[in-house]
Structure 1
């Protein structure tokens, strides 16, 4: 307002300068200047009064804003406290769903499998087609915070398919897949205890981490399964080590069994298992694992049994258990859009073969996976895997290979002795060799979103014996399957 009045005054001065400089006119000019100064004072007083009148309203607005900010700060503080100290502090729930379609040529079967309850483990019906939940609770923050983690696979996990709580007939109906307590002692060492998957091989159990739909022959039939026990994890620099003392695989408590229907035995010998990994470069890992212990043997009798009521093979001679020895080495090479895996296995189960001798199996697996961006389908990938597993010694058996007690064959998975040899044998097939198995798998993967993966797979399995059971009751040397899967992770 002052600037406006001064500008008006200056604008009028030239006219005054050009007027006649007479005394009365000068007096009039002074009177006008005094009047303008009086008006300026009045305007200044009015401005000051207006500012003073608005101040209380501004203070009221600021007070209300301060109250709202303080309330929001209290809410943030409470959420922060709950996140670090409340019941949900350190709690995470992740998982996936993976409905799967499988068509098998030898069995002339096709259809979707998802959350259907089945405790028969097969390469066409293993850990896929279920809901997976991983629930983890961390008590505190930082590398020294203890944690407890439980994974649930109600229809396809170890609890439903493989775990037993006593005799072999008590398997199934357990939704727990793994349950692990982790207690760090330092930045490099943690104590672990509970139910956990074995350390063997390059393959993982979870469908959302696999580059195929089905597992390889070594994962399904050679590598050890789940263990209940305690041990430690240690890592330093390029080295990482895992060690555990446990029950025999798949047993949630010390096992007892009866051999030949007359003697009861208890397996009190713990299994010792461990793994070592060496990271050679940022993308190359070389590792290996071993297992030593005692393992349950099959017991069976039938009309062709010996006079004492037993076959005298499949471990039924003097004990229900045999010494178990397994070792493997594996390597993983990871690129920006590629993964290459290799694994070599060897296992032995004393008196665990079909004819009562030692079961011996060995094999290898090779896998290559490549991703790329396509113009039509966006992000996609392709996988090729080859598996070889020799289980011929003493008629086969051992490891994850369970042969029929009546005819020495697993017709679903293609292991054991041929029925032609069994029928022509004069000693119930004990002189027959087991099958050597191979499998070639090709998969195509699509990644529409970060959470969704679509997979298609064709797989050809074959053996050097007629061991795949057809729907008409006959056996053949090979089988083909087609599978499709949608995996949604959350």
Structure 2
């Protein structure tokens, strides 16, 4: 058809721009020639239109028997009906995933060894329980407009349990596009996004978590913010409550939480996260101003994985040991964490992780790790305490104004049994520069503690 139209057009142009001898023809002769050309084009168009048209991809192909055509139509009708049912029942755009993680832990100073799974977290947060031994079901729904609805349920071992010891909600959030899928309004309860290490055992290569993850970062945020992506950049920011689902009487100020990620290339990148605002303080019973900042990065290429993080923090009136007049002093800390992994085979990975936290100022004290010191109601005497299971705070038989500087070294193996199942084995040595680990067998304090952990993660 295109060739026919081009031929007619060419002829018309030749007629319009002919040689001088042709231009001498009368207008009447030119009109007759143009009419003849138009009639010829119309005749050719009718012939082309009368030719058989090619079949569409949705129609049965030539060569199908009547029975095959009938089966084809039956399948097409069923497929359309199934799509209608999925959409009407709300399953369109819904993704469901989950995992379980039974864990075995041996803790030398706690004098215990055994399995732990879905155990209550109401007694507190410890590095030998952390978020380990969890079971999670995750629902992610995306609407046609691009809005994301996210609900993650984790009984006993999730963010909700870390906040109040009871909630099974790990995450409950919405993400609404603001004119673009790359610019979103986010709101709800969202787990903390700081550091190189993830909470989920499907993403964390070790069974335990590093010291910075356990003791210097929030559990999560409840509030509203923005999620922005542009090329290699990803920015998230919120105004929210930290480690709280609602404000109590007298509390009015939200925290500002922020994270920016940059994927430099295919193999490496970095991230920066910060928090500024009033956060829980168990010394005073009220929220006090806290400042957190951390920088993390990664390099993953071939069989080699390298990850690292540096963190600093400060909280007003958050130190463990008060001043001589009984007033609370400020807590301040700084820490490092690094991880290296190497794939010996496509299924077996060897791992090493090393952590250090400098926390000796004013008897120690980390983010929300305070409230151990009490006062005698009758005499007013200061009774200094510490966290003798996590190894945070001063040596109670030494200088109570000096907190323990903590370190931990972990060696591990991770084996992919199949696509859904991962087996992990870890030996971890925790230590401090003063005796802060309580040995429950004899009631004495030690400078080190050994832990052996193993876990099986089964995901779908």
TM interval, shorter chain, is 0.7 to 0.9
Q: Are 1:365 and 2:337 matched, yes or no?
A: yes
Q: 1:385 aligns with which of 338, 353, 356?
A: 353
Residue by residue, what CA displacement relative to the aligned partner does 1:321-360 show, whole Å, maximum 9, x if unpaired? 3211111111111113332111010001011112211100
Structure-2 residue corresponding to 1:267: 251
CA–CA distance in structure 1, aligned partners of residues 305 and 248 of structure 2: 40
Cα RMSD between the aligned structures?
1.8
| Equivalent residues in 2 for 1:38-437, closer than 5 Å | 65-84=68-87, 86-119=89-122, 120-140=124-144, 144-160=145-161, 162-163=162-163, 171-185=164-178, 186-247=180-241, 249-256=242-249, 266-298=250-282, 314-315=283-284, 320-354=286-320, 355=322, 356-373=328-345, 379-406=347-374, 407-421=384-398, 429=400, 432-437=401-406
C-alpha displacement of 1:65 = 4.8
For structure 2, the residue ranges without an aligned partner over 5 or more in a row are 1-63, 323-327, 375-383
- 1:403–1:415 Cα contact (<8 Å) kept: no
CA–CA distance in structure 2, aligned partners of residues 386 and 117 of structure 1: 28
C-alpha displacement of 1:85 = 5.2
CA–CA distance in structure 2, aligned partners of residues 255 and 369 of structure 1: 44
Give the TM-score, by structure 2 length.
0.79
- 1:403–1:410 Cα contact (<8 Å) kept: no
C-alpha displacement of 1:118 = 3.2
Give the TM-score, by structure 1 length.
0.74
- 2:243–2:280 Cα contact (<8 Å) kept: no
- 2:146–2:181 Cα contact (<8 Å) kept: no
CA–CA distance in structure 2, aligned partners of residues 489 and 172 of structure 1: 25
- 1:397–1:403 Cα contact (<8 Å) kept: no
Moved over 6 A (4+): none
For structure 1, the residue ranges without an aligned partner over 5 or more in a row are 1-60, 164-170, 257-265, 299-313, 423-428
C-alpha displacement of 1:474 = 1.6
C-alpha displacement of 1:63 = 5.2
CA–CA distance in structure 1, aligned partners of residues 309 and 370 of structure 2: 22
Q: Are 1:485 and 2:451 matched, yes or no?
A: no
Residue by residue, what CA displacement relative to the aligned partner does 1:85-133 show, whole Å, maximum 9, x if unpaired? 5421111111111100000111111000012233231100011112111
C-alpha displacement of 1:405 = 3.4
Residue by residue, what CA displacement relative to the aligned partner does 1:273-319 show, whole Å, maximum 9, x if unpaired? 11111222221111101111012322xxxxxxxxxxxxxxx447xxx
SS for the counterpart of 1:417 is: coil
Number of matched pairs = 379
The structure having more radius of gyration, on CA atoms, is 1
- 2:319–2:370 Cα contact (<8 Å) kept: no
C-alpha displacement of 1:403 = 4.9
- 2:281–2:371 Cα contact (<8 Å) kept: no
